[in-house]
Amino acid sequence: MKQLFVLDPIKHINPIKDSSAALMEAAHKAAIEVWICTPSDLQAKGNKAGVCASHVDPEPWITVQEPQNLALNEFQCIWMRKDPPVDEAFLYATHLLEVAEREGVLVLNKPASLRAWNEKLGALRFSKLMAPTLVASRVQELKDFAQEQGEVVLKPLGGKGGQGVIRIATGAPGLEALLELVTLQENLPVMVQKFLPKVLEGDKRILLVNGQPFGAINRRPKDGDFRSNLALGGKAEATELSLREKEICEELAPALKKEGLFFVGIDVIGGMLSEINVTSPTGIREVEQLMGIPLSEQIISQLLDKFS
């Protein structure tokens, strides 16, 4: 079997922390040929999709062979693991991957769903599981909502890793000016959510494989911050799922499976769903190290079951 990983440039990937590296190593252990490319290496000639890709040996990290021009239908599975932003280049890559998908190649996660499930807006499908939330561009509506909630968190819809997330007390001076700024003078929608004080105890990242929870970590914010993202200095801790968190996973599972979202990371704060991460979920290395679970190997095993 041959699998292709569509990634950021390999030199930017830290194998000690990166989930894509963990998946590549697990695939290699399972006697799968591992190939890599970037989105710019994808192409289509007529109705046939191709790629300029390199065969790699990820252990020890990493031996990269000279690139070759191949048809995408030579791969049984393609992992789309390019990090956000979901910009024009990302979107066009998903369209090119759909050409391969029409030729029978399994693409993870499903290209159409990568486009449809914005990592902030996708959670709105399950709004009853979330804290009170408003997505809007109009400053007055955002301001009224913030005043109703008392304290809120402002999230840019295209952000990643906690970047640009702001905690706002509604009595703070300059709220209206801030809302004008982040909405680009009411031209860009943003998400505002009720602030959940439980986030100071941690934000739980739960990794779901084919709709089922396979591992989780608790991410605790560093001193002086409320954002728990590991990229911003949050600390990962071992954890177990509560009954409420298991119920959230069960609620999401049918939709995730139906829409071809095979590997997903959800964020839960105080029993409330916060985000559904579908582009390139992280956390595999932390789960393996803290929980003693061979998660990457389990994910590849689940994937191979699809071909048996």
Would 98 be classed as within a structural domain?
yes
d(CA 231, CA 217): 14
CATH number of 44's domain: 3.40.50.20
Q: Which one of the listed residues 110, 120, 204, 285 is annotated catalytic?
A: 120
pLDDT over 90 for what percent of the chain?
84
Single pTM value for the model: 0.93
The mean of the pLDDT values for the chain is 93
Catalytic annotation present for 186: no
CATH number of 150's domain: 3.30.1490.20
Find the domain containing 220 and state its range. Answer: 198-301
- Given 168, 195, 222, the domain boundary residue is 195
Catalytic annotation present for 229: no
Q: Which one of the listed residues 110, 204, 227, 285 is annotated catalytic?
A: 227
Q: Which one of the listed residues 277, 285, 286, 288 is annotated catalytic?
A: 277
Q: In the structure, what pLDDT confidence band is assigned to residue 236 with cuts at 50, 70 and 90?
A: confident
Would 126 be classed as within a structural domain?
no
Q: Which one of the listed residues 82, 110, 205, 285 is annotated catalytic?
A: 205
Catalytic annotation present for 277: yes
- Given a contact cutoff of 8 angstroms between Cβ atoms, the answer to whether 44 and 96 are in contact is yes
Q: In the structure, what pLDDT confidence band is assigned to residue 280 with cuts at 50, 70 and 90?
A: very high
- For residue range 182-234, list pLDDT tens digits in order: 999 999 999 999 999 998 888 999 999 999 999 999 998 877 667 666 665 67
Would 108 be classed as within a structural domain?
yes
pLDDT at 253: 98
Q: Which one of the listed residues 25, 219, 259, 285 is annotated catalytic?
A: 219
- For residue range 111-131, list pLDDT tens digits in order: 999 999 998 999 999 999 999
pLDDT at 229: 67
Would 160 be classed as within a structural domain?
yes
Catalytic annotation present for 285: no
- Given 154, 178, 195, the domain boundary residue is 195
Catalytic annotation present for 275: yes
Catalytic annotation present for 81: no
